[in-house]
């Protein structure tokens, strides 16, 4: 019996599982294998990249701590020298005859501290009493004025912004000053050390011996104090400066992130560390290119490993699929004939349904047209004749629709008609029917209504919903309607007479000025 079924239909019997299952299983196994290999590959690459990024971040953070500590130590040492000079009995405001001795002391200090290129002692009038400078380098008056202590009268050291020496030299300078307390709240003078920012950077940057890492120190305004290495690399300098201006002076005390260079587009690991006491910011950057290259090489190695594993397995699956290919083709050919015939039948049925819908419904609103509405009216009247129920028919005409069409065009008018149709459908029951006769004329059929008051209540609800304002091309528009109501069997004995009564009631509403409801009267 089973063999006769195979010869008659060409399909496999119930005892023999279709060979297509082998191909399906092979495809599913290939998909699962590809998913596993892809997930393992992505996870391994992500983990390796995160480890390399963490290593680079740890290096920059450690160097930022080291460089920050060196900067603070050097400034503390210079501050102690200033406090020592300020406490000497030979300072001019204590002993005016000892200026020569004070100059000698200051010269000796300059000899033993290569970072210093000068000293100044100011009196209360902001005048320079003593000025000792190395190689003729001296600051401008702006950086040695006592005005810097007016905002903060406490005994604190003040570090100036970097500036060029006068006369011009290879040094960029900064001043470190301390006020000399006087009898009143004002300072009696100040002791100022002129520091070579260039030599200061060389002394601090000597600890940075890691290739590819740059260190910059910035003031609160974003001016560069020094950077290491000292090689003339404007792109690298511009990168550090831009990053410091963006995240340095106002960032958290310690911050690390990965950023692209504003100038050359290279990625760098950036660590920003603030030195709160001296209002300086240390910015350490490391070129991310070596790390990215290592990650790329690891990605290639993982891809080769995945291919080495996948190729034999995929070959085995291909053999399994090939063994069932003949049966698959035969089965598909047989099924294709049935599928093609079923598709033709489905398309014919769908086309018939579309034609029937187009013949019975309005193309714009989707509401029943005159033909379908008349059929439903006839059915409602036939049922009401047997049951003794009342049927209400309403004719609805829009009062001020033509100005919308004239001023905004037919496309806007179509949108208004579609919205009005949706509101009318929402205002009645699902058992009721809303139809469009054409233009701005609509009809409503209530197949079961208790009495005249119930029909008029529905008409009032329709008028209220339709009169809600609309927005047409940004302009507020109000559409009202004139509604005529006729009720079977009080006003008519058949569908034609009922429609004529509702139409006459609608025109009575129009003559009354519109936006109103009229019940048919004989």
Residues tagged active-site: 440
Three-state SS at 440: coil
Listed residue (483, 485, 477) closest to 501, CA to CA: 485
Angle, alpha carbons 504-507-510 (nearest 5°): 160
Angle, alpha carbons 53-269-279 (nearest 5°): 130
Contacts 24+ apart (CB under 8 A), 262-267: 262/238, 263/235, 263/238, 263/239, 264/235, 264/239, 266/239, 267/292
Q: Can you tell me the distance from the alpha carbon of 194 to that of 385, in angstroms, rounded to the nearest whole number?
A: 114
DSSP 307-357: HHHHHHHHHHHHHHHHHTHHHHHHHHHHHHHHHHHHHHHHHHHHHHHHHHH
Listed residue (12, 8, 2) closest to 330, CA to CA: 12
DSSP 236-298: HHHHHHHHHHHHSTTS-SEEEEEEE-TTT--EEEEEEEEETTTTEEEEEEEESHHHHHHHHHH
| Residue 117 burial (10 A CB sphere; 0-12, 13-18, 19+) | buried
Q: Can you tell me the distance from the alpha carbon of 295 to that of 299, in angstroms, rounded to the nearest whole number?
A: 6
Instruction: Report the Cα 23 to chain-centroid distance in Å.
Output: 44
DSSP-H helix ranges across 361-400: 370-387
Q: Can you tell me the distance from the alpha carbon of 99 to that of 101, in angstroms, rounded to the nearest whole number?
A: 5
Q: Could you tell me the two tokens for 207?
A: 């600890």
For the CA atoms of the chain, what is the radius of gyration? 47
Q: Can you tell me the distance from the alpha carbon of 57 to that of 59, in angstroms, rounded to the nearest whole number?
A: 5
Pairing of strands 481-488, 517-519: parallel
Q: Can you tell me the distance from the alpha carbon of 161 to that of 399, in angstroms, rounded to the nearest whole number?
A: 79
Sign, CA torsion 25/31/34/40: negative
Angle, alpha carbons 60-64-68 (nearest 5°): 170
Three-state SS at 473: coil
């Amino acid at each position: 019996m089973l063999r006769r079924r195979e010869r008659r239909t060409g399909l496999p019997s119930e005892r023999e599982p279709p060979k297509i299952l082998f191909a399906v299983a092979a495809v599913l196994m290939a998909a699962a294998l590809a998913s596993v290999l892809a997930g393992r590959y992505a996870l391994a690459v992500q983990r390796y990249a995160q480890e390399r990024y963490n290593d680079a971040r740890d290096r920059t953070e450690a160097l930022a701590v080291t460089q920050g500590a060196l900067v603070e130590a050097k400034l503390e040492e210079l501050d102690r020298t200033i406090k020592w000079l300020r406490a000497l009995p030979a300072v001019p405001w204590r002993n005016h005859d000892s200026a020569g001795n004070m100059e000698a002391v200051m010269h000796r200090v300059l000899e033993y501290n290569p970072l210093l290129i000068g000293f100044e002692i100011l009196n209360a009038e902001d005048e320079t009493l003593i000025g000792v400078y190395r190689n003729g380098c001296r600051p401008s008056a702006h950086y040695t004025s006592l005005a810097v202590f007016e905002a903060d009268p406490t005994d604190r050291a003040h570090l100036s912004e970097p500036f060029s020496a006068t006369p011009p030299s290879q040094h960029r300078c900064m001043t470190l000053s301390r006020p000399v307390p006087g009898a009143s709240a004002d300072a009696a003078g100040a002791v100022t050390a002129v520091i070579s920012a260039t030599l200061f950077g060389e002394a601090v940057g000597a600890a940075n011996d890691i290739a590819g890492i740059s260190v910059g120190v910035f003031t609160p305004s974003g001016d560069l104090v020094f950077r290491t290495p000292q090689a003339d690399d404007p792109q690298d300098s511009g990168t550090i400066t831009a990053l410091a201006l963006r995240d340095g002076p106002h960032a958290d005390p310690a911050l690390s992130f990965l950023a692209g260079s504003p100038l050359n587009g290279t990625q760098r690991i950036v660590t920003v560390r603030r030195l709160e006491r001296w209002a300086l910011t240390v910015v350490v950057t490391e070129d991310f290119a070596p790390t990215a290259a290592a990650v790329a090489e690891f990605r290639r190695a993982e891809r080769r490993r995945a291919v080495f594993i996948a190729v034999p397995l995929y070959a085995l699956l291909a053999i399994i699929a090939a063994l069932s290919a003949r049966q698959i083709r035969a089965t598909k050919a047989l099924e294709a004939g049935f599928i093609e015939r079923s598709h033709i039948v489905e398309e014919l049925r769908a086309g018939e349904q579309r034609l029937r819908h187009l013949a019975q419904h309005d193309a714009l609103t989707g509401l029943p047209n005159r033909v379908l509405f008349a059929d439903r009216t006839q059915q409602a009247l036939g049922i009401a004749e047997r049951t003794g129920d009342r049927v209400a028919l309403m004719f609805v005409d829009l009062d001020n629709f033509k100005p919308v069409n004239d001023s905004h065009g037919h496309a806007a008018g179509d949108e208004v008609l579609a919205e009005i149709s949706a509101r009318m459908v929402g205002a009645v029951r699902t058992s009721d029917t809303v139809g469009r006769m054409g233009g701005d004329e609509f009809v409503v059929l209530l197949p079961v209504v208790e009495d005249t008051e119930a029909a008029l209540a529905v008409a009032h609800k329709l008028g209220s919903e339709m009169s809600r304002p609309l927005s047409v091309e940004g302009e507020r528009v109000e559409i009202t309607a004139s509604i005529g109501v006729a009720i079977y069997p009080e006003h008519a004995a058949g569908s034609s007479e009922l429609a004529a009564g509702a139409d006459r009631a609608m025109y009575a509403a129009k003559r009354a000025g519109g936006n109103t409801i009229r019940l048919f009267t004989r």
